Amino acid sequence: MLSVSRLSAERADRPLFTNLSFALNAGQCLHLRGANGAGKTSLLKMLAGLSTAQDGEITWQGKALAAWGDDYYAALHYLGHKDGLKDLLSPLTNLRLTASLSGQVLSEAAALKTLTQVGLIRQCDLAVRSLSQGQKKRAALARLLAISRPLWLLDEPFVGLDQAAQNQLGEWIAQHASSGGLVILTSHQALPKAIQNITELELTMSSAA
Ligand SMILES: Nc1ncnc2c1ncn2[C@@H]1O[C@H](COP(=O)(O)OP(=O)(O)OP(=O)(O)O)[C@@H](O)[C@H]1O
């Protein structure tokens, strides 16, 4: 479903990885590992179609990302280091706005249900800028639950979450995979127990080459 073939990338004239190849099918999770600066975020951005590699190809459902164009974005959620929320808007408005930007109508009742799931119902009408870091992360995670997309690309998704929220996110990731979704994540933290079947890929120049 998602295939990476002989991908090579460099940043500031320094090779990050070369000839990196792997494939993920529906229901699989991949944990990208590696030291600081190994290229995990860079690779996630390439997988999200936000940047391009020096060489090699990424395909989704057998078609190169370049050929998908903007249609590819409808297949994925990318949660990067920035939460992608509008600071002056509430979690409720942010969520409904994101849904509407992706062509979906998310009713207020459905959005409130999701915000209850992520533990933000009491903060649903507050401006995002007044939320704590962990609450902002929860507001960003609400998108995963409210807007159905098969491919989740999650960069350090557990950072800033308390233990209960980390466990809950672990369950959502496991459920997403068991219902046929794909998840690629980075994490320097131990993964919650709910994520049982996860493949690991260590990014190092020697292992990727
Ligand atoms: N836009 C850029 N311009 C120049 N160098 C960059 C750019 N983006 C990333 N890099 C460099 O590429 C390397 C890999 O960065 P990246 O963020 O992908 O690493 P990472 O494995 O995610 O690290 P961490 O574990 O610290 O989050 C780093 O040396 C970084 O300085």
Question: For residue range 57-98, what is the model confidence (pLDDT) as tens digits?
Answer: 999 999 999 999 889 999 999 999 898 999 999 999 999 999
Inform me whether the pLDDT recorded for 176 exceeds 50.
Answer: yes
> Is-contact 105 112, C-beta < 8 A?
no
pLDDT at residue 197 tops 50: yes
E strand spans, the chain: 2-11, 14-24, 29-33, 55-60, 63-64, 76-79, 151-155, 182-186, 198-202
CA–CA separation, 2 and 46 (whole Å): 12
Q: Is the CB of 56 under 6 A from ligand 1?
A: no
**CB 9 less than 6 A from any atom of ligand 1:** no
How confident is the model over 113-143, as pLDDT tens digits? 999 999 999 999 999 999 999 999 999 999 9
Q: What is the pLDDT of residue 112?
A: 98
Range of the domain at 7: 2-208
Strands 76-79 and 151-155, bridge-based pairing: parallel
170 lines ligand 1 (CB under 6 A): no
Task: Kindly report the protein residue whose alpha carbon is nearest to atom 24 of ligand 1.
Answer: 36
DSSP-derived 3-state class of residue 115: helix
Cβ of 51 closer than 6 Å to ligand 1, yes or no, is no
Kindly report the CATH number assigned to the domain that includes residue 23.
3.40.50.300
| Rounded distance between C-alpha atoms, residue 44 and residue 40, angstroms | 6
Instruction: Provide the domain count of the chain.
Output: 1
- 205 band by pLDDT with thresholds 50, 70 and 90: low
